[in-house]
Homo-oligomer: A and B are copies of this chain.
Amino acid sequence: MMRPAYAQPLFTLTTGPVDVYPAVSRALAMPIWYDYDPAFQACFERVSLKAAQALASETPPLILQGEPVLALEAAAASLIGAQDVVLNLVSGVYGAGFADWARRYTSQVEELRVAFNQVIDPLELDRWLTQHPDVTVVAVCHHDTPSGTLNPLDEIGRVVKQHGKLLLVDAVSSFGGTAVTAASCQADVFVTGPNKCLGCPPGLSLVAVSEAGWQKISSNPAAPRASVLSLLDWRYAWQADQPFPYTPSIAEINALEAALDIYLQEGAEQVWARHALTAQAFRAGIQAMGLSLWAESESIASPTATAVRVPSGVNEEQWRLRARESYGVMFSAGRGETLGKVLRVGHMGPTAQPMFAIIALTALAGALNQLREEQIDIAAGIAAAMQVIG
């Protein structure tokens, strides 16, 4: 039977950029204002305060112009000085990568590392910090997207605070999709972005800094100023009567407001619940079809993305592109250590709806069956997913 070839994907079920909510799409098309138009200045303050509410942050989060990679580099540059001893918690590719930035600013970077399909053990962290009282900053990636695993962030935060250290959190691909805020994990620098679970296009990042965090950054002589890597430049820019260090992305700010409105109106708990349900249904389906998760146990699997182990003998790229070509569904590849070993499916923002678990299972299994003799049982997968969805 003839199969269509899709010039454009029908469904973008990746780990980001994700498709955006329709209202976000329309917000992008709003007239572009001058950044010092009083109406835009008021808008920027309003959006900053809505972000503060969503992130439960001590001070309004900075809205930086650039996807969160910028924010993470800027956070390292701003927070970490030559005297700091950084403990970097590593449970995946993104967590490991943060060390490169940290080492630019201090020679003392330590690492607590687990296999990339496991997560950090807070007890182990506690022991480690007890043995290394000189540590000043602990860095952790909440959801290491290349692995689809979620560190026990709130517990980690509790341990870090018990030891009186500063905590730098990368919650880029978890915030908005699961119960995590700057407050809940006691982060001093909490980095996230609207282009994952908030359902915005890429182009911005959000950085919430605690009072203690600002104190540390302010007293760091090496913290950048007059630079796109500066957090300090933006500290008070959220106030309508303060200048912008440079021109904000007007269209993306409008989009962010639309996304925050959706998030706050639907209610965080309701949003988290549909992320969880979608991921759970998807995982049930995957396993019922005889495929397996990358995560060592389902209990550490992220509700916002699932990394599916590539069966032996299967070429991941062929698999992924076949799903795109035959079903119009776009998935993500792995990264670094997981590249070629996993195919990743996002459950984020507008796609965090159970029906997208069905779509993902169908496309992923259908493509696999096209590629090899051995056939997996799509029907069993759908049945298992529907069992979860109800």
Contact = CB atoms under 8 A, between A and B. Distances in A.
Contact of A28 (B7, B28, B370, B383): B28
Contact of A332 (B9, B34, B70, B379): B34
Copies of this chain: 4
A10 interface: yes
A379 B378 CA distance: 8
B9 A34 contact: yes
Interface in A30-60: 30-39
Given A17-B35, A354-B327, A362 B386 contact: yes
Interface range for A: 35 or more
B22 A31 contact: yes
A57 B19 CA distance: 33
A246 interface: yes
Contact of A226 (B38, B100, B329): B100
B2 A18 contact: no
A213 interface: no
Interface stretch (A110-118, A174-182, A269-277): A269-277
Contact of A203 (B100, B251, B358): B251
B370 A378 contact: no
A313 interface: no
Interface stretch (A61-69, A126-134, A296-304): A61-69
Nearest to A69: B246
A358 B327 CA distance: 11
Contacts of A1: 277, 280, 388-390
Contact of A252 (B251, B377, B378): B251
A223 interface: no
Interface in A186-206: 195, 201-203
Contact of A32 (B18, B250, B270): B18
Given A4-B354, A36-B332, A324-B38, A16 B247 contact: yes
